[in-house]
């Protein structure tokens, strides 16, 4: 395949999407539709990729070049049909030789292996034109492959131009064509727009080749779903569901346990290892990597995360976070970008973390917010702890050392440091550094105001309960003597 040029058509408006986003940029399984097509195209190692852009090219062009930096962008100012689009592409590419494949930018199911097999057959047969075709039960809307009695391809007839007999044909054109470049350069100027749509059809090149006595063939793709496009959001959702089914099935055959494939979504760039278990209601998105023996789910969404070997992530939402080997997360945890949990660490129930490094064996078990923080190895953070990282203008970091023990309901006012082996009492607000091994206490001694409820809440149930308890206590003291129910007589 050393002399192969691939033209990707991406100039259409996609008005049925009813979106400010260009059709080919709509995502499916974590990539844009055209991103999937370009991945398949790159798999055949072409010498040159030319993308035809038109509508919203300020969106589409930079996206294509971000994915394939050396792709040539050809601008089709007016959308006058596929033949016109290819002519624009050839002009932008310069002198072209060898084989030219034309593909559509809205066929995200297309696989590189299928495209390679198509190109190899075309070159081996030395055809002027080859058509990637399929046999479908309902051919409505597709161009029909018309063959002669010998089975050779005579023409491709579009739906609007087809006769009643031709509309009964089940073999259809996928829109993916392969050409001998020399023939294509001769055929493009001969295309006309004498048809129902007034467009220059690239498929008319089949007739031109046949009239010249050249060979035209069709390569039937059994898995024709690979060539299906999405013209509206309903079709996009249908393709997304099918693509997800295929992705999930592939990973199960590779040794991943998926308890409920119907409620599990795995995007195209996710990599789960063998012996990973994925429980129902889980979404693995972006570039997420899950290492062996990890368990993810149920009801978990991870995007661009890494989950270590043997880790457990339960009912958690995470993005751009790293979970270490044999660590535990959740349920109901929120891992925001920059979270790094060490080996055998724990982020527990109703804990939110952001830009936080939590060391090996360290634990934030429940009801806490940890933002812009470093927590050392083996440290335990008490329940209800807040890392107050924002002063209204700037973010600041909190550093907590190794094997520290912090009490419940603490607030760390950043920037602050707590040394190795230090502790903090319950209810403490830490505003100053705590030396290694020290205990920080910020609350004063407890003071009880006797009779407060009866004085401040007269007539309330609270006051009634307090009065009844006081009366019972007084009766008990009068009966049994002093020291009962009070602090009297304690040494």
Catalytic residue IDs: 366
- Token couple for 167: 């509309």
Q: Which residues, in sequence order, are bridge partners of residue 335?
A: 318, 353
Report the SS3 class of residue 325: coil
3-state secondary structure 275-304: CCEECCCCEEECCCEECCCCEECCCCEEEC
Q: Are the C-beta atoms of 280 and 264 separated by less than 8 Å? A: yes
- Token couple for 101: 């494949």
- Token couple for 331: 């349920």
Q: Are the C-beta atoms of 35 and 68 separated by less than 8 Å? A: no
Distance (Å, rounded) from C-alpha 309 to C-alpha 316? 17
- CA dihedral over 480, 482, 488, 491, signed as positive or negative: negative
Distance (Å, rounded) from C-alpha 15 to C-alpha 10? 13
Distance (Å, rounded) from C-alpha 429 to C-alpha 300? 34
Pick the closest to residue 218 from 144, 139, 113, 168 (CA basis).
144
Q: Are the C-beta atoms of 355 and 339 separated by less than 8 Å? A: yes
- Token couple for 463: 């006051």
Cis ω on the peptide bond leading into residue 189 (within 30° of 0)? no
- Token couple for 186: 């001769």
SS3 percent helix, strand, coil of the chain, rounded to 5, is 25, 30, 45
Q: Which residues have CB under 8 Å from 456's CB, separation 6+?
A: none
Q: Are the C-beta atoms of 330 and 347 separated by less than 8 Å? A: yes
Distances (CA, A) of 8 to 32, 64, 106, 213, 233: 14, 10, 9, 28, 22
Q: How far is CA 144 from the centre of its chain?
A: 37
Task: Give helix then strand counts, H and E, for the chain.
Answer: 10, 36
Distance (Å, rounded) from C-alpha 212 to C-alpha 152? 14
Q: Please report how the helices 33-42 and 112-125 are oriented relative to each other, as an axis angle in degrees rounded to 10.
A: 50
Please, what is the Cα angle at 254 between 248 and 260, to 5 degrees? 35
């Amino acid at each position: 395949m050393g002399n192969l040029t691939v033209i990707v058509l991406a100039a259409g408006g996609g008005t049925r999407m009813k979106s400010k986003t260009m059709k080919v940029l709509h995502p499916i399984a974590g990539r844009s539709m055209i991103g999937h097509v370009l991945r398949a195209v790159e798999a055949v190692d072409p010498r040159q990729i030319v993308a035809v852009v038109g509508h919203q090219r300020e969106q589409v062009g930079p996206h294509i070049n971000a994915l394939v930096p050396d792709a040539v962008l050809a601008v089709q100012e007016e959308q006058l049909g596929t033949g016109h689009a290819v002519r624009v592409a050839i002009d932008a590419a310069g002198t072209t030789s060898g084989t030219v494949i034309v593909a559509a930018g809205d066929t995200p199911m297309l696989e590189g292996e299928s495209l390679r097999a198509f190109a190899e057959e075309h070159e081996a047969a030395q055809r002027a034109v080859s058509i990637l075709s399929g046999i479908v039960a309902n051919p409505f809307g597709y161009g029909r492959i018309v063959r002669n009695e010998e089975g050779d391809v005579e023409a491709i007839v579009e739906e609007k131009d087809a006769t009643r007999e031709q509309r009964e044909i089940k073999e259809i054109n996928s829109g993916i064509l392969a050409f001998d470049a020399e023939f294509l350069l001769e055929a493009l100027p001969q295309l006309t727009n004498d048809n129902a749509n007034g467009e220059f059809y690239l498929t008319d090149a089949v007739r031109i080749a046949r009239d010249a006595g050249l060979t035209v063939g069709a390569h039937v793709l059994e898995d024709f779903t690979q060539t299906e496009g999405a013209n509206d959001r309903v079709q996009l959702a249908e393709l997304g569901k099918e693509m997800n089914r295929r992705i999930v099935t592939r990973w199960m055959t590779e040794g991943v346990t998926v308890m409920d494939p119907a409620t599990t979504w795995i995007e195209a760039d996710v990599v789960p290892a063998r012996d990973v278990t994925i429980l129902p209601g889980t979404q693995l998105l972006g570039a997420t990597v899950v290492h062996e023996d990890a368990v993810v789910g149920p009801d978990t969404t991870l995007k661009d995360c890494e989950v270590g070997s043997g880790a457990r992530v339960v009912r958690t939402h995470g993005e751009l976070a790293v979970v270490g080997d044999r660590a535990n997360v959740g349920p109901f945890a929120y891992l925001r970008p920059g979270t790094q949990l060490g080996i055998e660490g724990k982020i527990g129930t109703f804990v939110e973390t952001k830009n936080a490094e939590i060391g090996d064996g360290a634990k934030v078990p429940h009801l806490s917010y940890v933002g812009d923080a470093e927590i050392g190895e083996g440290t335990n953070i008490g329940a209800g702890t807040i890392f107050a990282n924002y002063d209204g203008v700037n973010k600041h970091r909190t550093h907590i050392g190794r094997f520290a023990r912090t009490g419940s309901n603490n607030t760390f006012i950043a920037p602050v440091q707590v040394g190795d082996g230090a502790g903090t009492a319950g209810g403490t607000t830490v505003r100053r550094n705590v030396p290694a091994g020290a205990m920080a206490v910020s609350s004063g001694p407890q003071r009880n105001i006797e009779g407060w409820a009866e004085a401040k809440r007269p007539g309330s149930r609270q006051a009634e309960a307090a009065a009844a308890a006081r009366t019972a206590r007084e009766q008990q003291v009068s009966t049994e003597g002093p020291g009962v129910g009070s602090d009297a007589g304690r040494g």
